[in-house]
């Protein structure tokens, strides 16, 4: 069955302080954010009618905007409330939440000091990011051609739209070869992340994950580190070179969209879907649905 284009979904989008019919939430073709990627966004998930770690995401949205040189004219509390109100209006319990802020169309050119800062929030139902059957077996990743840039060349601590251009290219190239995603190295040739998720490896009962010095320290990443430490699993954040993947036993990705997704293959390297990956997958599922977990006890 063909999917419905995103501009034809039903419901409302919160846009600059108002609820706008989905089909009417539009921007002009000469919007600065379209031409110069002067936009920042967040990806969040609602579970059981509550948006997981909403305030952390909104705070990061504000910080991303600051790093791109603009200020969002709605406070963290106001954006949190708008997200909750929109979720209720859409009538969803489980959904994906996408706030985005961008420079408008008042000036067109590299310099756009006087452009209005716009903010919109869209919420839609979005199931597992990866195929559920593949996810249980462990997804397969290609090695990306493009690398995460030196933070001296881009605002790598922001969730900025422009930083995802090479992610789209890398994911498209991987999917064309039959892979689910791609692993990206950084500009130094070190393991960095997947195109939209952080990566963890398991060896001798320890978790190893790259130090996020040129890519996002994901909110899901930090959550999984906390869950692992509660289990008494040691977490080592460090430089990881690609050849080290030959010695790792397990691998998984973490992200709001990916949640916790086991990996069975990255290029020439193979991994098992082992106990630690399964435990953290289940622990994360319980963490995002605390009321359901309590009811099941």
Query: Is residue 95 domain-shared with residue 64, that is, in the same domain?
Result: yes
Q: Which residue has the tokens 């090695």?
A: 143
Please say whether the beta carbons of 262 and 276 come within 8 A: no
Query: Is residue 74 domain-shared with residue 55, that is, in the same domain?
Result: yes
- Write down the pLDDT at residue 292: 55
Query: Is residue 201 domain-shared with residue 104, that is, in the same domain?
Result: no
- Tens digit of pLDDT for each residue in 80-96? 999 999 999 999 999 99
| CA of residue 156 relative to chain centroid, distance | 14
Query: Is residue 110 domain-shared with residue 142, that is, in the same domain?
Result: no
Please say whether the beta carbons of 256 and 219 come within 8 A: yes
Please say whether the beta carbons of 129 and 135 come within 8 A: no
Residue 297 domain-assigned (yes or no)? no
Q: What is the CATH number of the domain that holds 113?
A: 3.30.470.10
* Active-site residue set: 159
The β-bridge partners of 20 are: 13
Query: Is residue 189 domain-shared with residue 256, that is, in the same domain?
Result: yes
- Tens digit of pLDDT for each residue in 16-25? 999 999 999 9
Range of the domain at 56: 6-124
Residues in Cβ contact with 248 at an 8 Å cutoff, skipping those fewer than 6 apart: 201, 202, 203, 208, 269, 271
* Residue 16 CB neighbour total at 10 angstroms: 14
The β-bridge partners of 254 are: 198, 260
- Write down the pLDDT at residue 136: 77
Query: Is residue 162 domain-shared with residue 101, that is, in the same domain?
Result: no
Q: Which of 99, 124, 149 marks a domain boundary?
A: 124
Query: Is residue 169 domain-shared with residue 270, that is, in the same domain?
Result: yes
Please say whether the beta carbons of 149 and 208 come within 8 A: no
Low-confidence residues of the chain, pLDDT below 50? 1-2, 293-297
Q: What is the CATH number of the domain that holds 275?
A: 3.20.10.10
Backbone angles phi, psi at 95, to 5 degrees: -165, 165
Token digits of residue 9 = 């979904």
Q: Which of 67, 89, 124 marks a domain boundary?
A: 124
Average pLDDT, rounded, for the chain? 94
**Strand, helix or coil for residue 30:** coil
Q: Which of 61, 92, 124 marks a domain boundary?
A: 124
- Write down the pLDDT at residue 297: 41
Query: Is residue 114 domain-shared with residue 261, that is, in the same domain?
Result: no
């Amino acid at each position: 069955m063909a999917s419905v284009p995103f501009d034809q979904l039903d419901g409302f989008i919160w846009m600059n302080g108002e609820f706008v019919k989905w089909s009417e939430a539009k921007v002009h073709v000469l919007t600065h954010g379209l031409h110069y990627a002067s936009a920042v966004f967040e990806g969040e998930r609602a579970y059981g009618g509550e948006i997981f770690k909403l305030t952390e995401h909104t705070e990061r949205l504000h910080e991303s905007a600051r790093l791109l040189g603009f200020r969002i004219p709605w406070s963290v509390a106001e954006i949190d409330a708008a997200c909750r109100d929109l979720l209720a209006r859409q009538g969803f319990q489980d959904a994906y939440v996408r706030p985005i802020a961008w420079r408008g169309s008042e000036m067109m050119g590299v310099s756009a000091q006087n452009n209005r800062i716009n903010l919109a929030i869209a919420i839609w139902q979005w199931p597992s990011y990866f195929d559920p059957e593949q996810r249980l077996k462990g997804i397969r990743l290609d090695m990306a051609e493009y690398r995460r840039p030196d933070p001296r060349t881009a605002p790598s601590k922001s969730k900025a739209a422009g930083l995802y251009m090479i992610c789209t290219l890398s994911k498209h190239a991987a999917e064309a070869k039959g892979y689910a995603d791609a692993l990206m190295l950084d500009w130094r040739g070190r393991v960095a992340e997947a195109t939209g998720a952080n990566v963890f490896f398991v060896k001798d009962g320890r978790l190893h994950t790259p130090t996020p010095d040129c890519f996002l320290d994901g909110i899901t990443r930090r959550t999984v580190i906390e869950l692992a430490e509660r289990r008494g699993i040691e977490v080592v954040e460090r430089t990881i070179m690609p050849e080290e993947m030959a010695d790792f036993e397990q691998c998984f990705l973490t992200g709001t969209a990916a949640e916790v997704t086991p990996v069975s293959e990255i290029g020439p390297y193979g991994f098992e879907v082992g106990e630690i990956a399964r435990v953290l997958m289940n622990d994360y599922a319980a963490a995002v649905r605390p009321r359901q977990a309590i009811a099941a006890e």
